[in-house]
Structure 1
Amino acid sequence: MEGSYYGTVDQPHQMGHPSQPMMNAYPGVNTMYAPPPSQPMGAAPFVAPVNPYPNNLNSNFAAPHYPPVGMDNPSVPLLSAGALGPTAPSSDMFGPVPGYEGMNTGDNSGRFLPPPPPALIPGPARPSPENAEWAIPNITEDAAKEAFLQYAKESCCYGTSAAKEMVFKEFNPFNTYRYRLETFTEARAFDWQIKPFDGHSTDLGAYGPPPQPWDIPVPCSTLFKDDEKKMPVPGTSSVKTCPQCMGIGKTVCTKCAGTGRVKCTWCHGTGKHVDDEQCSTCSGNGTESCRSCSGAMQCCEGCSGKGKVVNYIQLTVTWRNNIFEFVADHNSDFPTDNFKKVTGEKIFTDEQHLVPPLVTFPKQSINKASQDGQNEHYSKFNSTSRILKQRQTIELLPLTKVNYTWKGNPYSYFVYGRENKVYTTNYPQKCCCVLL
């Protein structure tokens, strides 16, 4: 297949086998789209998708209302689950919590949660573009010259005379298309967290079994934008004896190992100065009183000296905008990766919960890329995340090769993108410069 994939594509795609046009299985229905991979051609038309994730948080899909769990000042250090203390934590330190029995080990591993079975199917087809041959106006000589001059000015070792004095010979357009599929996903994981007890009431078992992770409504702030939120799972918090100090509120000082003395900072434990005189700071014994503790004990960091901690299960929700991109072959020696830096003329947009792949776009490689992108994203994210929204677009990418002469010698450069960026490998006027 012609063209180039880039973006989040991980596996190489087989090239050189253009896909065959697909039959219209739906008389009277726009054939810009094909059925999903699981639905063979000739089957019944698509059914409009039903949103299984209602916006009304009071619906049957929503978790019951729980009062918020009190959170400590973020500046207070958290005690990691399973941290070493005077003795091992008790066996019920991390549970049991109904519905979360697999977490009782307390290894804080951030367990991944498979999403519920998907209920979405590709939505209805959007109207396809009517014009089979979109035309970008040829770049003018003035625009091409201005772009080349700006390119020379931005390069510290290039002179501008060539850009000012060149003589245009020929403009060759190589305009092409870019297909982009965006799949906005939500993933959830949970782990145990421990924080110092701050006096807030806990809620373990107070309202019945806690909601399951995918039943907790957590709205995202912006579609198609990466984000992450962390929150305690309601009904999972409980007060425990601090495993670091076993409820005493103090621990042995780690700096002096409980001795109350540390190496003298002035003589570095030698008891003498450089001139071989006795150190006046430590009186020659090489140690001084530990400034981190009093009486070899220090305030327990795990519980802030209270002797108690609060255990709770933390839910981490991660939103990712996953992108699949493909640029159709432009039949030139221009590096396709350079298109990542520019925008094109958007000629088609489709945004739905799940978009169907394209079928009848005039450029067959774009249809093939759309189907490849749908298959890849579905297989990659369907079992690990919940697909919230998809968006597919087609852009027409301007690309013109400019042939010119300077001082009688032939040269060329490319102007590409709506930004009129310039690419060339043989700029004729270079100089050697030294950066100090």
Structure 2
Amino acid sequence: MNSAAMYPPVMAPQANMFGNVPGYEGTVPGGGGFLPPPMPMEPVAPPQPAPENPEWSIPSLSEDEARKAFKEFVSSHCCYSDAPVTQGVITSMEPFNTFRYRLETFTESRSTEWAQKPYEGEPADFYTQPAPQPWEVQATPPNLFSDHNVKIRVPFTSSVKECNTCHATGVEQCTECNGCGKKACWVCDGTGVKLDAACSHCNGTGKESCSKCNGRGKKECQTCKGKRQLLTYIELKVEWKNNVEDHVVEHNSGLKTDKLCSVNGKELFKNSQNLRQTVELIPITRVNYEWKDNTHAYYVYGNEHKVNADDYPATCCCVIL
């Protein structure tokens, strides 16, 4: 029998499969654009006074701390000799401390789309009450300045529809064997012959039972999971995002500014209201040293005492056997 006759082609969702919900007229399967929030009904509270600036001092790096950081840096590189660390002499240390200003803006955005899932007996509440508008749906926010996403089924938008993929049969044609229940034998490539004799795997037929559908030619519908019906509803996507912008003051130390992205500094000022503003002092020290009558330098930066030494003079090539 023609498998195409047994299994009609999969149809796209009907135009009336998704209902028309007041306030959600532009919602489509696959999602639409972000929805602007409503204007605030109450006046915005005035900003609170900023906290007083605490006392702070500029951190300084000692020679012992510089040597320790340098030693840890070299030991983390298998092809670096430690001779410059043990034999080198520090001649001077130059501070190039700089500032980093960070602005964090915490935002919430909402978007909607029609969604569907296998129907498992959930109440179909479509039109039993007016559906709340997107910004009226309650969503529990995370801690301030923390990224988070949540998906919420909008109340009073759920309805039950027949599955359009399997035509409410719960099964669909097996794509591995095209609904035949058999496919070409993998031993003889469908010829029925192996080494000038009938293939023992398929008894010379050139066919074997399809392992994906156990020879039935059909399998459980992947859309409705065999339930024959779908629950369709409007899904609200809520995204909280912390938008961060950094600016590092030019320091003219010779250390690339992008190196400072991975370190922390001493917090000098912080103001957290609707926005969070932070000013950090990032310590940078250029350490000059002599080794084998040549002058070299490395940088120690950040509270973590990270080291950058692009011109390290004692590298070698290693071969792992």
TM-score interval for Structure 1 and Structure 2 normalised by the shorter chain: 0.7 to 0.9
Aligned letter for 1:229? V
Listed one character per residue, the Cα deviations across residues 119-169 of structure 1 (whole Å, up to 9, x for unaligned) are 7587244145377xx642431111111111222212222222221222222
Q: Does 1:210 align with 2:134?
A: no
Aligned letter for 2:183? V
Partner of residue 198 from structure 1, selected from 104, 120, 125: 120
Partner of residue 156 from structure 2, selected from 228, 231, 235: 235
SS at match of 1:101: coil
Cα pair 1:85 1:246 within 8 Å, conserved: no
Q: 1:304 to 1:413 in 2, by over 3 A?
A: closer
Listed one character per residue, the Cα deviations across residues 45-104 of structure 1 (whole Å, up to 9, x for unaligned) are xxxxxxxxxxxxxxxxxxxxxxxxxxxxxxxxxxxxxxx95445433101122221223x
- Between the aligned partners of 1:318 and 1:153, the Cα distance in structure 2 is 44
Residue number in structure 2 paired with 1:167: 89
Partner of residue 101 from structure 1, selected from 14, 25, 40: 25
Alignment map for 1:275-354 (pairs within 5 Å): 275-291=195-211, 292=213, 295-353=216-274
Q: CA deviation at 1:323?
A: 0.8
Q: CA deviation at 1:416?
A: 1.2
SS at match of 2:192: coil
- Between the aligned partners of 2:13 and 2:316, the Cα distance in structure 1 is 71
Residue number in structure 2 paired with 1:431: 316
- Between the aligned partners of 2:219 and 2:75, the Cα distance in structure 1 is 63
Residue number in structure 2 paired with 1:403: 288
- Between the aligned partners of 1:87 and 1:145, the Cα distance in structure 2 is 71
Q: 1:315 to 1:130 in 2, by over 3 A?
A: closer
Partner of residue 186 from structure 1, selected from 108, 132, 147: 108
- Between the aligned partners of 1:324 and 1:347, the Cα distance in structure 2 is 17
Listed one character per residue, the Cα deviations across residues 229-274 of structure 1 (whole Å, up to 9, x for unaligned) are 112111111001111122233333333323333222332211111x
Partner of residue 152 from structure 1, selected from 74, 89, 96: 74
Partner of residue 60 from structure 2, selected from 123, 138, 149: 138
Partner of residue 174 from structure 2, selected from 249, 253, 259: 253
Aligned letter for 1:316? K
Listed one character per residue, the Cα deviations across residues 325-356 of structure 1 (whole Å, up to 9, x for unaligned) are 01112132121111112111101000001xxx
Q: 1:270 to 1:414 in 2, by over 3 A?
A: same
Listed one character per residue, the Cα deviations across residues 14-63 of structure 1 (whole Å, up to 9, x for unaligned) are xxxxxxxxxxxxxxxxxxxxxxxxxxxxxxxxxxxxxxxxxxxxxxxxxx
Runs of 5+ consecutive residues of structure 1 not aligned to the other structure: 1-83, 354-389
Q: 1:277 to 1:214 in 2, by over 3 A?
A: same
SS at match of 1:337: helix
> Identical aligned pairs, as a percentage?
44
Q: CA deviation at 1:180?
A: 0.6
Residue number in structure 2 paired with 1:79: none
Runs of 5+ consecutive residues of structure 2 not aligned to the other structure: 1-7
Aligned letter for 1:232? R
Residue number in structure 1 paired with 2:3: none
SS at match of 1:402: strand
Q: CA deviation at 1:423?
A: 1.7
Q: CA deviation at 1:293?
A: 5.6
**Aligned-CA RMSD value:** 2.4
Partner of residue 413 from structure 1, selected from 298, 302, 319: 298
Residue number in structure 2 paired with 1:244: 165
- Between the aligned partners of 2:158 and 2:206, the Cα distance in structure 1 is 48
SS at match of 2:26: helix
Cα pair 1:272 1:284 within 8 Å, conserved: yes
- Deviating more after overlay: 179-188 vs 299-308: 299-308
The normalised TM-score by structure 1 is 0.66
Q: 1:122 to 1:426 in 2, by over 3 A?
A: farther
Q: 1:278 to 1:122 in 2, by over 3 A?
A: farther
Q: Which has the higher strand share?
A: 2
Q: 1:143 to 1:96 in 2, by over 3 A?
A: same
- Between the aligned partners of 2:147 and 2:125, the Cα distance in structure 1 is 32
SS at match of 2:255: coil
Alignment map for 1:39-118 (pairs within 5 Å): 86-103=10-27, 106-117=28-39
How many pairs were matched up?
311
- Deviating more after overlay: 288-297 vs 340-349: 288-297
- Between the aligned partners of 1:143 and 1:290, the Cα distance in structure 2 is 69
The normalised TM-score by structure 2 is 0.87
SS at match of 2:38: coil
Residue number in structure 1 paired with 2:141: 220
